[in-house]
Chain A
Amino acid sequence: MRNKSLVVILIIIALLGVYAISTQRGLVGLNEDVDAAWGDIEAEYQRRADLIPNIVETVKAQAINEQEIFTQIAEARAKLAGAGTVEDRINANEQVTSVLGRLLMITENYPQLKQDKGFQDLRIELEGTENRIKVARKYYNDKVNIYNKRVKLFPTNLVAGLMGYEPHPYIKAAEGAENAPKVDFNTKQ
């Protein structure tokens, strides 16, 4: 009788072990997906960061003196350079997004910039990069969504808690950033 219950308990423990292992393996895979998606965003953020000096130079070359926005851009870039954690980097990059949006709004007031071929190309590239960031962000959030559900929902949350799997942060777009720098060149005016 005692033997029988021992066997039952052992079987249950073994099953739980198998369950924990398979859950953990699933979590590792999903975690990797999130990391890869984050890597994509970082690459696009970097592409944008590389564009900023060029844009600022092109604007300055047209003898446009908007010191305030240049200072804001410099601040945003400094903050970006100092950001370490994922959340800090997300926030710093949202600030870059809004500052760049403001810069583009300001450039609207300078018709000579619109005619400048170099600036036109930079704006097209910037618009393309902003769109890539949006796409990468959506992809990242989708992956985080799948992973977080596993981490937070019963019963997988028990295994995730035991193994120290934490939910990842979502990237929420800053207020108004969603519809911000919509570049519209109406070349035929």
Chain B
Amino acid sequence: MKLKKICFYFLIIAILLTTAAPLYAEPKIPPATARFYCNDFADIIDKSTEDRINELGEEVNRSTGGGQIVFASVSSLDGYTIEEYANEMYNKWKIGTKDKGVLFLVDAVGREARIEVGYGLEGMLTDIQSYRLLEKFAEVNEEEGMEKAVATVYTDICRIVTGQSVELPERGYGGSSSKKEADITDIIRKNPLLIIIIAVLILLDLILTRGRITGFLIRIMILSGRRGGGGNSGGGGRSGGGGASGRF
């Protein structure tokens, strides 16, 4: 009897806790692509430009110590304003280490664009600059097409954020893992002595501890390799709604 009563109360508490509906409905945001910097969901630019944007994004990320400039195109805002959608996307993707991030969002169907600036870059990329960039976007789009417009504005944002005259690379490479492998083979080719030393060390280890240290190192390498994964991800940033929106 008593047990029944307790169960009943617990049930009520559980219902109360789960049915407390969220205050706001939120737009459904698709997950970012593996390379993170170019997310052309609406398919408005071609593959080679995507690769070039990704590559410049990675370069800016390295040179600014965690800054992230992300481009995304969508074909629907899920019924929300572009301001709400961009802010939600920014925060969900956690763009930029220490909030140093910019999201350049284009709604291809609604013909609206927004530059959403994270807290950490509000001082560098002001609302007025963002607005002027969107005016430029509309202009270039009209005169030279979407491909060029996206590339121009993305590059301009990177220039403002880095303070350097960076350029989109001539040609992008398809993935980030191939480069890493190339680096390792390079090192091996240049230092044949290194391999001999490592081989001797492994041999010694096999004789002295029956390969315990080697096994341990291999396990660490596998684990860290898995964590690396080759892709990029958000740096944990949040946006307070800085930036500007415009039509094109």
Q: Tell me the A residues contacting B by CB distance below 8 Å.
A: 40, 44, 121, 124-125, 127-128, 131-136, 138, 141-142, 145, 149, 153-155, 170, 184-188
Instruction: For residue A147, give the distance in angstroms from its CB to the closest CB of chain B.
Output: 12
Q: Tell me whether A138 and B24 are in contact (CB under 8 A).
A: yes
Choice from B22, B127, B247 contacting A128 with Cβ under 8 Å: B127
Minimum Cβ distance to chain B for residue A95 (Å): 21
Question: Which B positions have Cβ atoms within 8 angstroms of A?
Answer: 13, 16-17, 20, 22-24, 83, 87, 127-128, 131, 135, 138, 239-244, 246-247
Q: How far is the CA of A40 from the CA of B242 in the complex (A)?
A: 13
The residue that A135 contacts in the complex, of B131, B138, B240, B247, with Cβ under 8 A, is B240
Known: A142-B23, A153-B17. A135 touches B87 (CB 8 A): yes
A128 touches B242 (CB 8 A): yes
Determine whether the beta carbon of B128 is less than 8 Å from that of A131. Answer: no
Closest 9 CB pairs of A and B: A135-B241, A128-B127, A132-B241, A131-B241, A124-B131, A145-B23, A124-B128, A131-B83, A121-B128
A141 and B23 contacting across the interface, CB-CB below 8 Å: yes
CA distance A110 to B214 in the complex (A): 78
Known interface pairs A124-B128, A134-B83. Does A40 touch B23 (Cβ–Cβ under 8 Å)? no
The interface residues of chain B lying within 8 Å CB-to-CB of A133 are 241
Quick check: B247 and A184 within 8 Å, CB to CB?
A: yes
The distance from the CB of B26 to the nearest CB of chain A, in whole angstroms, is: 10
Interface class of chain A by DSSP: helix
When distances are taken between beta carbons in the complex, the residues of chain B under 8 Å from A184 are 247
A186 to B190, CA, bound (A): 60
B23 touches A128 (CB 8 A): no
Q: Which residue of B lies closest to A148 (CB)?
A: B20
Q: List 30 A-B contacts (CB under 8 A).
A: A40-B240, A44-B240, A124-B127, A124-B128, A124-B244, A127-B127, A127-B244, A128-B127, A128-B241, A128-B244, A131-B83, A132-B240, A132-B242, A134-B83, A135-B87, A135-B241, A136-B240, A136-B241, A142-B23, A145-B22, A149-B17, A149-B20, A153-B13, A153-B16, A153-B17, A154-B13, A170-B23, A184-B247, A187-B135, A188-B138
Chain B positions within 8 Å of A141 at CB level: 23-24
Least Cβ–Cβ distance between B11 and chain A, in angstroms: 13
| Bound form: Cα–Cα A121–B16 in Å | 49
Besides A124-B244, A170-B23, 18 other A-B contacts (C-beta < 8 A)? A40-B240, A124-B128, A128-B127, A131-B241, A132-B242, A133-B241, A135-B87, A135-B240, A135-B241, A141-B23, A141-B24, A142-B24, A153-B13, A153-B20, A154-B13, A155-B13, A185-B246, A187-B135
Q: How far is the CA of A134 from the CA of B85 in the complex (A)?
A: 13
Which chain B residue lies CB-closest to A136? B240
CA distance A149 to B239 in the complex (A): 26
Complex alpha-carbon distance, A170 and B246, angstroms: 31
- Bound state CA distance, A174 and B152, in angstroms? 40
Instruction: Report the separation of the CA atoms of residues A138 and B239 in the bound assembly, to the nearest whole angstrom.
Output: 12
A44–B240 alpha-carbon span in the complex (Å): 10
Q: Distance (Å) between the CB of A189 and the closest chain B CB?
A: 13
Q: How far is the CB of B133 from chain A (nearest CB, A)?
A: 12
Complex Cα gap A152–B53 (Å): 50
Q: In the assembly, what is the distance between CA of A155 and CA of B16, in Å?
A: 11
Q: Using Cβ atoms and an 8 Å threshold, which residues of chain B touch A188?
A: 138
- With a CB–CB cut-off of 8 A, which chain B residues contact A170? 23
From A128, A149, A153, A155, B243 is in contact (CB under 8 Å) with: A128
List of B residues within 8 angstroms of A185 by Cβ: 246
Task: Provide the residues of chain B in CB contact with A153, threshold 8 Å.
Answer: 13, 16-17, 20
Whole-angstrom distance between the alpha carbons of A116 and B128 in the complex?
14
Q: Is the CB of A125 within 8 A of B127?
A: yes
Minimum CB–CB distance for A129 against chain B, Å: 8
Interfacial chain A residues near B131, Cβ < 8 Å: 124
